[in-house]
Structure 1
């Protein structure tokens, strides 16, 4: 990677890291504060869902604003709005006001991701996208780990201090973008494939993306609630959530590379079964600190690997011209799953207790296993067309980062092989000639009656 490209990518990645530290523990903080205020799990679920609703809306609409005002000004607007919504939450604790603020905050946060991802996308060609995506994911996950650990540090301060720290970090993230030379990368408006077209093209990819949204949103929004209710302190909850993010960061790539060498549908089946098994362990195994940390580490690795493997499976089936729009569409399907997750799971937690979270995750894992088994029996998975690429971009524009030269070339070769398999020419078989000689285009064809051999000679002109 050239120094010029690294310098151009450094500012947005640094901004992502700074803002991601605060955003990494904000969801945990909100869940804990609402629970401490005596709000029921259903209310906490709806407030958590508001953030994902904002993410989904922003993923579809924010690119229009970015096209009008440019990257740097758009980043400043979105980051400032994130800071304002967080600071207002620190000043005013009301669940329905927080619902509105979280919705606006989700809309603004995905705007920040849109600027960063589109900047990285347009700053490079497809040959270096894999390396840029790796840097993006390192920044994203590292910020998540640091943010969760910061939760315990800020808890020793005043009640409003954590919100102030998150607001400060959001404001500070503007500096790297504002201090670089003014540039305006080109950007095209995203047009993802429709859900119906996606279901027709890749039912497994759609179900995997939707199920991943359900599971990841539950982990981010409701796992802190479970940990608090089993008696962990705020500092310990932050550490356990950091372990979850660390598991996601360390296990996602090995699982993905394993899927390169095996049937991806089989890998998805095993991931679903693995998540169900870990959920059962959370329900029935004796949980000391080390056992809890180990199970959460594995849960993070399984849950967060589901989406990129599903996207890679979908890419194995998609034609080269539809790869980008397919990736964008699956990202929005994932956002829909994240949106409906907390409102679906919190009633279960109210009905059966805090363990309802893991009953729900276990049931989700079994449903995914059944669906993937059925799809594998109906239509076996194709051979992977390109190496696994981790998929963590947050916006439909940034989803194009995962479409590398290798993936496009693999899809083209896959299409070519399929075309040849469906267009095998029929080889005509010569029928033996019997009876009198036949005249065709000045040639007389006949069969020697003694040895049965086929002969031809020019016809004599009359």
Structure 2
């Protein structure tokens, strides 16, 4: 990676890290604060869903605003809105006001991710996207772990201090973007594949993406509630959530590499069965703190690996021309699952108690295991066309980061080796699914001093 490219990517990665520290413990903070205030699990689930609905809406529509005003102004606008919504949450305890603020905050947060991911996407060609994605993941997960560990510290400083800290971090994240030279590349409008075409192309990928969204959203929004209700302090809840995210960071890649050497459908079945076993252990084993930490570490590795393995499986089937739009569509399916999850699981916790979270985890995992097994019996998985790529992008534009040159070449080789017309009859591979080809360097459009100019 050239020094110039690293300098181009440094500002958005620094902004992501600073914002991610506060955002990393915000969902945990909201869940434990609402529980302390005596709100029901159902109300907490509704407020949590509002955030993920905002994420989904922003992922679909925020790129239009970015195309109009440019990366730097868009980042400043979105980050300022994140800060305002968080600070307002510190000024009120009304759950319905929090619902509206979380909806707006989700919309603004995904706008921040859109700026960062599209900046990285257009900073380098396909040959370096894998390294840029690795840096993105390191910044995102490291910020999440650090944020959870800071939760106990800032929570002890006062009831409003955590919201003030998150607001300050969101505001500070603008500085790296604002202090660099005012030059940033344009992006193309993202147009994901519609759901009916995704289901035709990869039913397993769609169900894996949906299931991943459901379990990951429940882990972020409802697991802190469970931990607090079994007697843990706010600091201990943050520590356990940090262990969960650490498991996601450390185990995702080994599981993915394992899927390169085996049938990815079998790996998806194994992940689902593994989550069933972890859920059963959480329900029936006498939990000491060390055992709980081990189980949460393993649970994080399992639930966070489900989505990238499902996307990799889908890429094994997709024609080269559909890879980008397929990844974007699966990301939106994942967001839909995340929005539905708290609404579906919180009533289970109300009905059967706090342990209902893991009854729901186990039930969902059993359903997905049976579905993946059925799909494997109907249509065995293909040979992987390219090595597994860990996946964490938050927006449809950033989903293109995982579509590397190696993956495209593997898909092209796969197309030449077999006739795909029967396998994906509803996908017209001749259609230009990924938009126009990238312009030559001399024709790239830039925003300079907030005015769109074209360098000849």
TM-score (normalised: structure 2): 0.92
User: Counterparts of 2:420 and 2:125 in 1: how far apart (Å)?
Assistant: 31
User: Counterparts of 1:103 and 1:398 in 2: how far apart (Å)?
Assistant: 21
Q: Residue 267 of structure 1: CA displacement?
A: 0.2
User: Counterparts of 2:241 and 2:409 in 1: how far apart (Å)?
Assistant: 39
Partner of 2:343: 343
1:366 aligns with 2:362: no
User: Counterparts of 1:308 and 1:322 in 2: how far apart (Å)?
Assistant: 17
Partner of 2:205: 205
Partner of 2:436: none
Moved over 3 A (4+): 419-422
Please report the RMSD computed on the Cα atoms of aligned residues, expressed in angstroms.
Answer: 0.9
User: Counterparts of 1:244 and 1:219 in 2: how far apart (Å)?
Assistant: 9
- CA deviations over 1:402-461 (Å, ceiling 9, x no partner): 000110000000000003999xxxxxxxxxxxxxxxxxxxxxxxxxxxxxxxxxxxxxxx
Partner of 1:105: 105
Residues 261 and 160 of structure 1: is their aligned pair in 2 closer, same or farther, counting only changes over 3 Å? same
Partner of 2:51: 51
Q: Residue 184 of structure 1: CA displacement?
A: 2.5
Kindly tell me the number of residue pairs found equivalent between the two proteins: 422
1:214 aligns with 2:214: yes
Tell me if structure 1 keeps the 8 A contact 2:70–2:186.
Answer: no
Partner of 1:75: 75
* Local SS of the residue matching 2:38: coil
1:317 aligns with 2:305: no
Residues 158 and 405 of structure 1: is their aligned pair in 2 closer, same or farther, counting only changes over 3 Å? same
Tell me if structure 1 keeps the 8 A contact 2:22–2:147.
Answer: yes
User: Counterparts of 2:154 and 2:288 in 1: how far apart (Å)?
Assistant: 25
Q: Residue 170 of structure 1: CA displacement?
A: 0.1
Tell me if structure 1 keeps the 8 A contact 2:192–2:329.
Answer: yes
Residues 420 and 103 of structure 1: is their aligned pair in 2 closer, same or farther, counting only changes over 3 Å? closer
Partner of 1:18: 18
User: Counterparts of 1:149 and 1:364 in 2: how far apart (Å)?
Assistant: 29
- CA deviations over 1:217-272 (Å, ceiling 9, x no partner): 00000000000000000000000000000000000000000000000000000000
Partner of 2:35: 35
User: Counterparts of 1:300 and 1:414 in 2: how far apart (Å)?
Assistant: 33
The 5 Å alignment of 1:86-165 reads 86-165=86-165
TM-score (normalised: structure 1): 0.91
Partner of 1:393: 393
User: Counterparts of 1:217 and 1:147 in 2: how far apart (Å)?
Assistant: 17
- CA deviations over 1:296-348 (Å, ceiling 9, x no partner): 00000000000000000000000000000000000000000000000100000
Q: Structure 2: 5+ residue runs without aligned partners?
A: 423-456
Q: Residue 52 of structure 1: CA displacement?
A: 0.2
User: Counterparts of 2:118 and 2:351 in 1: how far apart (Å)?
Assistant: 43
- CA deviations over 1:77-133 (Å, ceiling 9, x no partner): 000000000000000111000000000000000000000000000010000000000
User: Counterparts of 1:421 and 1:366 in 2: how far apart (Å)?
Assistant: 33
Q: Residue 37 of structure 1: CA displacement?
A: 0.5
User: Counterparts of 2:249 and 2:154 in 1: how far apart (Å)?
Assistant: 24
Partner of 1:287: 287
User: Counterparts of 2:248 and 2:335 in 1: how far apart (Å)?
Assistant: 18
Partner of 1:253: 253
Q: Residue 155 of structure 1: CA displacement?
A: 1.4
User: Counterparts of 1:184 and 1:130 in 2: how far apart (Å)?
Assistant: 20
Larger radius of gyration: 1
* Local SS of the residue matching 2:183: coil
User: Counterparts of 1:420 and 1:334 in 2: how far apart (Å)?
Assistant: 26
User: Counterparts of 2:10 and 2:280 in 1: how far apart (Å)?
Assistant: 42
User: Counterparts of 2:203 and 2:12 in 1: how far apart (Å)?
Assistant: 35
Partner of 2:301: 301
1:5 aligns with 2:5: yes
Partner of 2:193: 193
Tell me if structure 1 keeps the 8 A contact 2:255–2:305.
Answer: yes
User: Counterparts of 1:218 and 1:156 in 2: how far apart (Å)?
Assistant: 26
- CA deviations over 1:338-389 (Å, ceiling 9, x no partner): 0000010000000000000000000011001000000000000000000000
User: Counterparts of 1:183 and 1:122 in 2: how far apart (Å)?
Assistant: 12
